[in-house]
Chain A
Amino acid sequence: MTLGRYIARKSGWYLVALVAAVSLNFLLPRLVPGNPVDVIVSNLARGGSVTGEQQKAIYEGFVAEFGLDAPLWQQFLTYLGKVFSGDLGTSFANYPASVNDLIGQALPWSIAVQLPAVLIGWIAGNLVGAIAAFRGGNWDRSVFTSALFLSAMPYYCLSILLLYGFAVVAGIFPVGGAYSLGLTPEFSVEFLWDAVSYYWLPFLSLVVVFIGGQAVGMRSMAIYELGGDYVNYARAMGIRDNRITQYIFRNAMLPQITGLALAIGTLVGGALITELVFSYPGVGTLLFNAITQNDYPVIQAVTLIITVAVLVANFLVEIAYGIIDPRIRAASAGEK
């Protein structure tokens, strides 16, 4: 099977998954009892300064604006049209701010923490695991024990420990936030230098746990591959160790790539909590605030973005898998 056909086949399946995810994303908030506009209007009425007539006018205005008076199928089509044109709606809680603006402010912070954590964590974890397997002995024992301990630790737990140790006790890093009060986000050396000091703790709390998980997996796979017949045969042919190591690394990497796809989902979930611990103004904090305020458009948008991010990451991983392992392409085509 050619790589092109393999990619086309995978693209089709991921498109189906995307449509299903978008549909669920639309339906789930609407299955929750109650009307989100009721919450907004009741919040307004709590102060006592809004009359009944005004409440009714506000209610009808919101219902019309959010399209909640239309039948469900029409709402769905409107939603689809808006999503695919890049319009994520208007926030209930921060009315009349658009969800696009809120996401646009929060997303760069999350990407800045999560993307390097995924890439560096995956590469470093696999290298550490592979080296531990090759070297064996005390090196392997100490790396394995440490990696196992780290991988078993929940993200929020390490976040709290790092926060307490490095921010509260040692005072090396700031306690929370993404930049100092009084500064405005901009591309200047002063701002970036300040932001980096806030960046380390959330980044470390994600990357260290991720390295641990990847190292444990890679070590096990590399040890398994080291005993493979093809390794013994390559040695018997006099092939040099560094070349044999490349064979082993490539084959041991295959399950690790699958693991990466799963780990990205876990990492995104873990990052949401990490952001809360460090009061980092990313998507996690935005989602938490939206949930507490019943801000459905924001909840929907954040969930959609996370879903799309995980789907894209999984898609890229599957393509990489197909390139690296010819058997996967053959199996997809039903070949021998």
Chain B
Amino acid sequence: MFLYILLACINQMKRERTISGIFHLLKGKRSAQTLQDARVYGIDRFFGICPSLSKPKLAAIIQEAADNELILIEKDQFASLTKDGVDYLATYQGSRPEYFSGMSDAANVQIFEGRLRLLVQTVTNLSVNNRAFLPIIEQPTIQQWVKQHYSRIKENMKEVEEQLYKELANLLGQRTEVEAALFTSRLTGGRIIGETREQLARDHNLSEQEVDILLSHVSYFLYEQCRISRSHYPAIATCLEGLSSSSLITHSAKRTYQFLEKGFTLESIAAIRKLKLSTIQDHVIEAALVVPDFSIRPFINEEHEQAILASASRLQTRRLKRIFESFQGQFSYFELRLVLAAAKKEPMSYA
């Protein structure tokens, strides 16, 4: 699945972004550039789905794909698909990455997964009165949530345990055998400590990166299913508690957005917040990317917007530099980025 996603990203980016752009996307770098790329190339659902990816690891996988002649890497690190690469996507038989929704949910899924793991460990230990276990999740906010939740369920531990089991067995049964097996073996609870990715990779004869992406996919699947039908999976769905489906990714961008809504100009927001104007502009781009119905009208009129979009489609590119040059400097980079960010997502095609 990892290779499939990698090739899909390369395909969508049409040789306009380097490998490092893909790295930031999968890793989930919260920069305006990465967010915007994710959006304009229609691969925002893969944003942040591999938080533990490392550069050398990705480089090795890319090298392997190049050696197998699935992709072509130019000197400047721009990648494109070969004919074999295109065929690979078209004839892919493995399990499909159907459930990722990284851009909107990456942060929530990470919390959801942490809560679920710690909840399972807590319930399955306390149900047999074992209080001396070391939590497998260390984030204080997640520990705090589980602690609070525990005080609500401690009277009927046995029931909660059984319910969690039933829901997980049911949901995992809807995944492929290998995804279900990986998720279960990674789980810590009762007398069993979960396995590392390295161990899982060895036991299942997969690469560590493949293990990672499949585990991530199961988490997105569980998250999605619980969100759609909370009442079917009440025990797991408690882990969704307080996770808003909202939008703005960075805290700082959120504050800028609040000033914008009150009608402040970009310059005055920069002055008030003691930030560079370019930073504030990045926040606006971020908002245009993720806030539904965000209006870019205060920054650019409709006629100009259409002109920019027309140029982008005529040039068949999302590269700002080429669009910028086509207008001979009539529009700033900020204006170009903003228009592209707000533009409707293109439907994603893999072949």
- Real complex partners, A and B? no
List residues of chain B with CB under 8 Å of any chain A CB. Answer: none
